[in-house]
Structure 1
Amino acid sequence: MADPTKRSDENGKEPSSSDDANLKARLKSLDAQLDQATAQRSKTTGSPARSTSDSNALGQAFRLSAEFVSGVVAGGIVGWLVDRLFGVSPWGLIICLMLGFCAGMLNLLRAAGLLKGARYDQKQ
């Protein structure tokens, strides 16, 4: 039975030291080529900064959409409650949905930084 600790090549011959040296040389050249290709690819794509900015942009998009949708949903709920309490069937919902839309747009503009938030005037 063959010794499993000894290596042999395809023909059943044991590798010589020159084969090991050739293999090590080829491995070093392949490693150098991989390093060069990786460096060249990182120059052209700039992936580390790009992936971070993409995730930040996606997070901001979700935040802005949540700001708008929450205003409209809150207006709809208040409108539905007004319709149930006062019996003014579609008008409470319609008016409060429009107010919710306006509030959602205002929240959206504030969250995006295009509009400054409300401030209290402090007299000094």
Structure 2
Amino acid sequence: MADDDDERLRSGLDKLKASLSKAREAQGPAPVPRDRVSEAARGDSGVSLGMRAGSEFISAIIVGSGVGWALDRLLGTNPAFLIVFFMLGVAAGVWGVVRLTSPKGGGSARDSRLSHPDAADKGFSRSAPAAEPDASPGRGASRGAKEASGGADDDED
């Protein structure tokens, strides 16, 4: 009797495996979500990202300084335009690095789980322990035990 049940279950399992493999073959390979693709597969490994950010920063400074130097030579105003365009180059370099290293797309999938409005810690007050000594149920009991034992509480100043 048990052998008949096992055979029936195994044949049902084999049929299910066969139909699943046929369906999987008909669909083709499953697309990988953009945020799941590894950085190395996209060509943005840590070293290449750092080199790209550094070169973008340096090139922005060089271009800004070059434009400032050329304007100073052309107009005869020594270091005025060089200083201004050097600062603009630094600002453009920082902006480029921030833009390069900030996350792209993904929306709320990349946010912390605590940044959502329904996070578990929303609604709790974060007041100082001295302002509300018995705010949480277990806190007063542990404080009373420490005071009763005569031990100093190192956490509070």
TM range (shorter): 0.3 to 0.5
Q: Which one has more relative contact order, counting CA pairs under 8 Å at least 6 apart?
A: 1
Instruction: Answer with 1 or 2: which has the greater Rg.
Output: 1
Q: Which has the larger share of helix?
A: 1
